[in-house]
Chain A
Amino acid sequence: MSNTFKAFGMMLATAALVAVIGLAPTTVLAEKPPIKIGFIHTMSGPISMYGISSAAGAKVAVDEINAAGGVLGRKLELIVRDDKISPDTGLREAKDLVLKEKVDFLAGTISSGVGLAISNYAKRAKKIYLINIAQSTKITEENFHPYVFRFTTNSTPYFGKGPAIALANTYKSKKIIVLGYDYETGKNSLKEFKDTYLKLVPDAKFIDELWVPLGTTDFTAYIAKMANSGADCFYLAAIYGGGELAFTKQAWSFGLYDKMKAVQPCAGDVETWSKVKQGDPYPKDALATCRYPFWAIKGEKNAEFAKKVREMTDLWPAYGALDAYIIMYAIKDAVTKAGSTDTQKVIKAMENLTMDTFVGKIKMRAFDHQAMMPTWYGIMRFTPDLPFPHITDVGELGEDSYHTIEQIKKIRGK
């Protein structure tokens, strides 16, 4: 008897807790069971800002959708889990969400390694997995399967092809020197950049390629060489994060940014530079790509979204939030179109999706399940609008900055 009583007490306590947290209205008001979305992201540790920002973006969308009556009369329910940036943990959470929570969709994360592990599992479990930050082209090219969709730019428009188009649209530099990390992404980025750029600006020359061991943070001797190379522009091949910060400090103190133009892909995203203040070294006048320049996008909806994310997280709104927001709407649109949550029907609907969002029309490419998300580019400067350096004179890159279907066929054929 006492056990039953205890269990009853526990149930009451749990119910009370749920009510306090505020989940109760969703469950009580929804007549039909909710559509569950398992959202796996890096929510703890030093790069948790990506996960926190993404989860906030997803939550804004879910709240909006539910307030407007949900999807097919069902509410959306977001279950957030932490992958601790480990493929093992990510996989375990994915399994748990599918088997115990019976989620209808999986979404997330930042690391391509974790993303690939979850993607492989999604294929076996026959669950749709929607990626919001992980960029490796491998996920949608070599390791493609029908259950994976990506709603973020991949490394092609971001590191290689996109910056080349941007450079041809802006500085049109003729003599380029390259500095890159000596590993696959570095070499691939340069190849994409070079091939694209030489087609657009045929009289340009790549005068030298400097490759440093992965993880190098002392670029002094390389920068001295770049400064005296006679180049009018340098291109960084896949040097980002800590390496980029170190490079920029050193290049700044050598006056390299005054001597030549700079192409620093990914310098435009807010995470790396948001703590840099006026007077600190930054990639001055560098051409950079960015996945969500919230300051440059017009429209009330964008401003409202940026404000909500900022209030929820105390972080500058980043692309993780935008992409997660779009994913939730993609689920809504695809499920509505399919008329059910049946996986095969939703895949069909999602493959032919064109979404109207506050960053423009976004088309899903059926061939590789890569959403044709725009990539923005611009010149890194300080303006009175924001306390950190950011891209200005913003331009937008579209479908032509991605691999073509023919290119992907070739890659997969290998």
Chain B
Amino acid sequence: MTFEAFAGQTLAGVSLGMVWFLIAAGLSIIFGTLKILNLAHGSLYMLGSFCCYQVTVSLAHVAGNFWIGVLVAPIVVALVGGVIEVFLLRPIYKAEMIYQYILTFALVLIIGEACKMIWGVGYHSVQVPWPFQGSIGVFGLSFPSYNFFLIAMGPLVFIGLRTLINKTDLGRNIRAVTENREMANALGTNVPRVYTGVFMLGAWLAGLAGSLWPPVSVVALGSDMAVVIDCFIIVVIGGLGSLAGAFVGAIILGLTTAFGLYLIPKLAVAFGFILMIIILLIRPYGLMGEPE
């Protein structure tokens, strides 16, 4: 393996991982606090992509329309998330786990069909926005500058979330509810409101990832399931509910995928799962998770 190849696969792996992290972070935060495994998280991501695409089309002649989309789309997705939490999830917190799976899986179908009704089964494209159209030469390799931007977004969001959770009042409430729901409730924390807030935050992250991705790819149905499996692998290897775990897990999965397909391309599809099996054998609660 030459040095250029090594650098190329590393950058590609990290940029893959950072988009996954944005989605997995939301999934992980929601599980950590609400103890709900949101199967529809990929659908919220896809909804973000479609909303961002819609903004770029509706404001086709406005400069910077993509960036407006990146601002607007995650908010729309967060609002949809809020509605889902208040009207659908809230009544079933006390029910068995299986009902949550059925409900969130139903949401996968509903959101998928809704997107199909609104935007059709075709594929849509969003231009790479200013100022990231070109590519940057590193170690003799030309790498798209938009991918560098995506790589930078990962740590930025990670630090932002850490600060939010560790340094703010909202974060303190989230930690309290996560730690001990009854105690927090007894001490006057408005638990339902924290739940709604956390679910909306998770949905916002999914929407952000969804709106950042289209310039690299296409907006189309099916991206929900394509991404959700990778994100489940990430939160499982990182430790359910752990933000740092999701961050590390995303980088590990991205690099494993990139180097795996370089070395043994025929097994490319299997690397994520192999990685998950190995890590779970060694640490059943994930890299950064805590044994229950």
**Shortest beta-carbon distance from A276 to chain B in Å:** 9
Which of B11, B120, B218, B268 is the one whose CB lies under 8 Å from A210? B268
Residues of chain B lying within 8 A (CB to CB) of residue A209: 265-266
Residues of chain A lying within 8 A (CB to CB) of residue B195: none
Q: Is the C-beta of B106 less than 8 angstroms from some C-beta in chain A?
A: no
Instruction: With A216-B226, A224-B12, A255-B142 as known contacts, state yes or no: A246 contacts B218, CB within 8 Å.
Output: yes
Could you tell me the distance between the alpha carbons of A212 and B271 in the complex, rounded to whole angstroms? 12
Task: Name which of B76-84, B200-208, B237-245, B254-262 contacts chain A.
Answer: B254-262
Q: Nearest chain-B residue to A217 (Cβ)? A: B217
Contacting residues of chain A (232-263) with chain B, CB-CB under 8 angstroms: 241-243, 245-246, 249-250, 253-255
Contacting residues of chain A (213-235) with chain B, CB-CB under 8 angstroms: 213, 215-218, 220-225, 227-228
Contact between A253 and B12, CB atoms less than 8 A apart:
no
Q: Nearest chain-B residue to A242 (Cβ)? A: B123
Instruction: With A211-B269, A224-B12, A225-B262 as known contacts, state yes or no: A254 contacts B217, CB within 8 Å.
Output: no
**Shortest beta-carbon distance from A275 to chain B in Å:** 8
Could you tell me the distance between the alpha carbons of A280 and B127 in the complex, rounded to whole angstroms? 8
Which of B11, B215, B226, B258 is the one whose CB lies under 8 Å from A215? B226
Which of A47, A211, A221, A254 is the one whose CB lies under 8 Å from B257? A221
Residues of chain A lying within 8 A (CB to CB) of residue B257: 221
Residues of chain B lying within 8 A (CB to CB) of residue A254: 135, 142-144
Q: Is the C-beta of B122 less than 8 angstroms from some C-beta in chain A?
A: yes
**Shortest beta-carbon distance from A43 to chain B in Å:** 14
Q: Is the C-beta of B86 less than 8 angstroms from some C-beta in chain A?
A: no
Residues of chain A lying within 8 A (CB to CB) of residue B141: 224, 227-228
Contact between A228 and B269, CB atoms less than 8 A apart:
no
Which of A213, A250, A253 is the one whose CB lies under 8 Å from B269? A213
Contact between B2 and A228, CB atoms less than 8 A apart:
yes
Q: Is the C-beta of B121 less than 8 angstroms from some C-beta in chain A?
A: yes
Interface of B is mostly: helix
Contact between B223 and A220, CB atoms less than 8 A apart:
no
Q: Is the C-beta of B216 less than 8 angstroms from some C-beta in chain A?
A: yes
Instruction: With A222-B261, A225-B261 as known contacts, state yes or no: A242 contacts B13, CB within 8 Å.
Output: no
Residues of chain A lying within 8 A (CB to CB) of residue B142: 254-255
Residues of chain B lying within 8 A (CB to CB) of residue A250: 144, 216-217
Residues of chain A lying within 8 A (CB to CB) of residue B121: 45-47
Which of B9, B19, B215, B269 is the one whose CB lies under 8 Å from A224? B9
Residues of chain A lying within 8 A (CB to CB) of residue B122: 46-47, 242
Residues of chain B lying within 8 A (CB to CB) of residue A249: 125, 128, 215-218
Contact between A46 and B218, CB atoms less than 8 A apart:
no
Q: Is the C-beta of B278 less than 8 angstroms from some C-beta in chain A?
A: no
**Shortest beta-carbon distance from A11 to chain B in Å:** 39
Could you tell me the distance between the alpha carbons of A156 and B226 in the complex, rounded to whole angstroms? 29
Instruction: With A217-B217, A253-B135 as known contacts, state yes or no: A211 contacts B258, CB within 8 Å.
Output: no
Contacting residues of chain A (60-83) with chain B, CB-CB under 8 angstroms: none
Q: Is the C-beta of A208 less than 8 angstroms from some C-beta in chain B?
A: yes
Against A, the Cβ 8 Å flags (1 = close, 0 = not) of B83-125 are 0000000000000000000000000000000000000111101
Q: Nearest chain-A residue to B259 (Cβ)? A: A221
Q: Is the C-beta of B182 less than 8 angstroms from some C-beta in chain A?
A: no
Q: Is the C-beta of A104 less than 8 angstroms from some C-beta in chain B?
A: no
Residues of chain A lying within 8 A (CB to CB) of residue B220: 217, 242
Q: Is the C-beta of B16 less than 8 angstroms from some C-beta in chain A?
A: yes
Q: Is the C-beta of A192 less than 8 angstroms from some C-beta in chain B?
A: no
Q: Is the C-beta of B5 less than 8 angstroms from some C-beta in chain A?
A: yes
Residues of chain B lying within 8 A (CB to CB) of residue A333: none
Could you tell me the distance between the alpha carbons of A208 and B121 in the complex, rounded to whole angstroms? 33
Which of A46, A182, A227, A241 is the one whose CB lies under 8 Å from B120? A46
Could you tell me the distance between the alpha carbons of A223 and B8 in the complex, rounded to whole angstroms? 9
Residues of chain A lying within 8 A (CB to CB) of residue B5: 224-225, 228
Q: Is the C-beta of B222 less than 8 angstroms from some C-beta in chain A?
A: yes
Residues of chain A lying within 8 A (CB to CB) of residue B12: 220-221, 223-224
Could you tell me the distance between the alpha carbons of A227 and B123 in the complex, rounded to whole angstroms? 26
Q: Is the C-beta of B15 less than 8 angstroms from some C-beta in chain A?
A: yes
Could you tell me the distance between the alpha carbons of A227 and B120 in the complex, rounded to whole angstroms? 34
Contact between A255 and B135, CB atoms less than 8 A apart:
yes
Contact between B146 and A253, CB atoms less than 8 A apart:
yes
Residues of chain A lying within 8 A (CB to CB) of residue B268: 210-212
Could you tell me the distance between the alpha carbons of A249 and B258 in the complex, rounded to whole angstroms? 19
Q: Is the C-beta of B28 less than 8 angstroms from some C-beta in chain A?
A: no
Q: Nearest chain-A residue to B226 (Cβ)? A: A215
**Shortest beta-carbon distance from B128 to chain A in Å:** 7
Contact between B4 and A228, CB atoms less than 8 A apart:
yes
Could you tell me the distance between the alpha carbons of A253 and B4 in the complex, rounded to whole angstroms? 17
Contact between B265 and A208, CB atoms less than 8 A apart:
yes
Residues of chain B lying within 8 A (CB to CB) of residue A255: 135, 142
Q: Is the C-beta of B33 less than 8 angstroms from some C-beta in chain A?
A: no
Residues of chain B lying within 8 A (CB to CB) of residue A246: 216-218
Contact between A217 and B218, CB atoms less than 8 A apart:
yes
Could you tell me the distance between the alpha carbons of A248 and B121 in the complex, rounded to whole angstroms? 20
Residues of chain B lying within 8 A (CB to CB) of residue A208: 265
Contacting residues of chain B (24-50) with chain A, CB-CB under 8 angstroms: none
Q: Is the C-beta of B211 less than 8 angstroms from some C-beta in chain A?
A: no
Could you tell me the distance between the alpha carbons of A253 and B216 in the complex, rounded to whole angstroms? 9
Q: Nearest chain-A residue to B215 (Cβ)? A: A249
Which of B2, B120, B262 is the one whose CB lies under 8 Å from A45? B120
**Shortest beta-carbon distance from B231 to chain A in Å:** 13
Contact between B16 and A218, CB atoms less than 8 A apart:
yes
Residues of chain A lying within 8 A (CB to CB) of residue B261: 210, 221-222, 225
Which of A45, A215, A280 is the one whose CB lies under 8 Å from B222? A215
Which of A210, A211, A216, A220 is the one whose CB lies under 8 Å from B216? A220
Could you tell me the distance between the alpha carbons of A46 and B13 in the complex, rounded to whole angstroms? 34
Could you tell me the distance between the alpha carbons of A250 and B11 in the complex, rounded to whole angstroms? 14
Residues of chain A lying within 8 A (CB to CB) of residue B4: 228
Given contacts A220-B12, A245-B123, 20 further A-B contacts (CB under 8 A): A45-B120, A45-B121, A46-B122, A208-B265, A209-B266, A217-B220, A217-B223, A217-B226, A218-B16, A218-B19, A220-B147, A222-B261, A225-B265, A228-B141, A245-B125, A246-B216, A249-B215, A254-B135, A255-B142, A280-B127
7 cross-chain CB contacts under 8 A: A213-B226, A215-B226, A221-B257, A245-B123, A245-B218, A253-B146, A254-B144
Report, nearest first, the 10 A-B pairs whose CB atoms are least far apart.
Answer: A242-B123, A46-B122, A253-B144, A46-B120, A224-B8, A228-B5, A221-B258, A224-B12, A221-B12, A217-B217
